Amino acid sequence: MDVTIHRALLDRALAVDDPAGFVDIGISGDKIVEISTDELSPGHVAIQARGQLAIPPFFEPHFHLDNPLLWPSDQTADLINQSGTLFEAIDIYARVKKDRQLDDLIDKASQAVRQALSNGVLWFRGHVDIDPDSKLKMLQGVVAVKRKFSGIVDIGIIAFPQLGMARSSETVDLMYQAMENGADLVGGIPHIEKDLDDAAKQIEIIFNIAKKYNTSIDMHVDEIDDPYWRSLELLADKTIAENYQGRVSASHCCAMAAWDEATFQRIIPKVIAAQITIVTNPLTNLFLQGREDQPPVRRGVPPLDRLIKAGVNVACGHDDMNNMFYPFGSMNPLDAALFAAHAGYLTTPHLIRKAFEMPGYSAARSFGIQDYGLKVGNPAHLLLLPVQSELDALRLHPSPTLVMRAGKVLVQTEVRQTFSEIVPQ
């Protein structure tokens, strides 16, 4: 065999003879050819897992690749988001985009992708602003980043009409141009429109574009605390009407946290019927939402426990990093999953497992990847995490010591000694 991995602890979601025990993994070319509880003969490259958890790599299903690492310096203090609100952040970024240099965008976006790769991300979706001011400039930079990482990290580019388009024919034209110039998916933001009628118009336009290019839809939905906003229901109805089930993702869905029970009970069955994936972004939503509410303050995270129990596919994303929208961010998917577990009341073993799956199996379903997972015959994409369970993966959220794509090692670090190895009991 070309590569063998010895004494790995297999993700317990997979069926093997002894899921609690160690396995050896054999790889030939770019495929997994054997997973055995028996010891395999060392391959051309033999990797000692030493009891680490072997899992398939992560996804970053929601990130803005055109604006990471824009946290203002002391010389640009006027770019600080003083209110901490989403709408002030949008206004600040609109000013930044006017003079943005492509070399700077490409450099900072590349740093974000490299950091994500070091944390085990091999699939990425990046939203890129498309609007009358910046036109296709942001897209041009992100397309260059996609090409730069081709064969290493798969980047799907989402054309994102940040300022709306129901009343902007220029933006509609730009969205079509974006699909001709490197965008892979159609994005949207219906709650930025004047009302639900205009939101419905935007959704209609989005489906027209998506159908023309036979591509999937990945939208910002109801990223606001106001319970008036129910564009998720409009999106679900349209998805079913257009027979687009399983090809639509709805991110944020913050208003859901403010809906009354009757609204929740009416809309969620439609979401399930439409096979829409909800992508929660707890890092930024906990930061940006609820700023103007009177008590009780809403924090903008939908009831994840109820969604999962109802059968909704729920993934999680990082959204932003070190900018006017969010000053922090590590590009570690386990950080977003851990925050989701806290904010979404994912506290039982089953729900903790679901939190662990959000940047993995759940995201794979939304991306439509059929051969995901550590199984014989699947591509040899895998990570080694220096933990022994999904609970510890979330609790400790470590970076992987091994990142492999198609049988090739992309990232490898030494396993750190544990405290017990350094200090006697």
Return phi, psi of residue 72, to 5°: -70, 150
Strand order in the sheet with 185-186: 58-64, 121-129, 154-160, 185-186, 217-221, 248-252, 277-280, 314-316
Tell me how far apart the alpha carbons of residues 55 and 381 are, in angstroms, rounded to a whole number: 9
Chain CA centroid to CA 285, Å? 14
Matching residue, tokens 């943005």 = 100
Separation CA 126–CA 109 (nearest Å): 10
Please say if 39 is a catalytic residue: no
Question: Residue 116, SS3?
Answer: helix
| Residue 379 near residue 371 (C-beta atoms within 8 A) | yes
DSSP E strand boundaries for 310-393: 314-316, 382-385
**Catalytic-role residue among 88, 170, 204, 223:** 223
CB-neighbour burial class of residue 212 (10 A; exposed 0-12, middle 13-18, buried 19+): exposed
Q: Which residues are catalytic?
A: 223
